[in-house]
Copies of this chain bind each other. A is one copy, B any other.
Amino acid sequence: MDDKATVVELNHESRLQSEDHQSIRLWLRLLTCTNMIEQRLRARLRQEFATTLPRFDFMAQLDRSPDGLTMGELSQRMMVSGGNVSGIANQLSGEGLIDRTQVPDNRRTLCVTLTDKGRKRFADMAAAHERWVVEMLGDLSPADHRQIMMHLTQLKRGVTALET
């Protein structure tokens, strides 16, 4: 439907109108970058470790917290719904990668930890994952990194500040 005299990348930003607000441009650029990286990571995790991004994320959060996390904490940190976390936990538990134990002083709460097997499994994936991310973002100089981080901090602060 489009004449292409020049090669054009097609992605979220293709929907931009000339009169669109600068903020819309920034948002679509952000979305495009994130989606591009996410898709690559997803594909590689599937190809090389037969796992998914949310499962990896789940284990990464636990690896970071050796004392364990509750289901609610996992839900917050992974930024997904509670039901979602329940489902992933069932899988990982079934594969012996995590333990769920009752917390003595609150019978509503579960404490989730990586098993030894889970910790080992994650270590392999984490090393590869880091290589992939560095490969994708490593072009940027340390100074650029700092600058983008600063800007995204500001952006994040602005969004967080809004109520609801």
**Copies of the chain in the assembly:** 2
Q: Is there a chain B Cβ closer than 8 Å to A137's Cβ?
A: yes
A159 touches B34 (CB 8 A): no
State how many residues of chain A have any CB contact under 8 Å with chain B.
74
Partner of A9, one of B20, B142, B148, B160: B160
**Which chain A residues in 87-103 approach chain B with CB under 8 Å?**
none
B159 touches A40 (CB 8 A): yes
Q: Give the complex CA separation of A61 and B13 in angstroms.
A: 9
| Min CB gap A145→B, angstroms | 5
- Residues of chain A touching chain B, judged by Cβ–Cβ distance below 8 Å, are 1-2, 9-12, 14-17, 20-27, 29-40, 57, 60-61, 63-65, 67-70, 73, 76-79, 111, 130, 133-140, 142, 144-145, 147-149, 151-162, 164
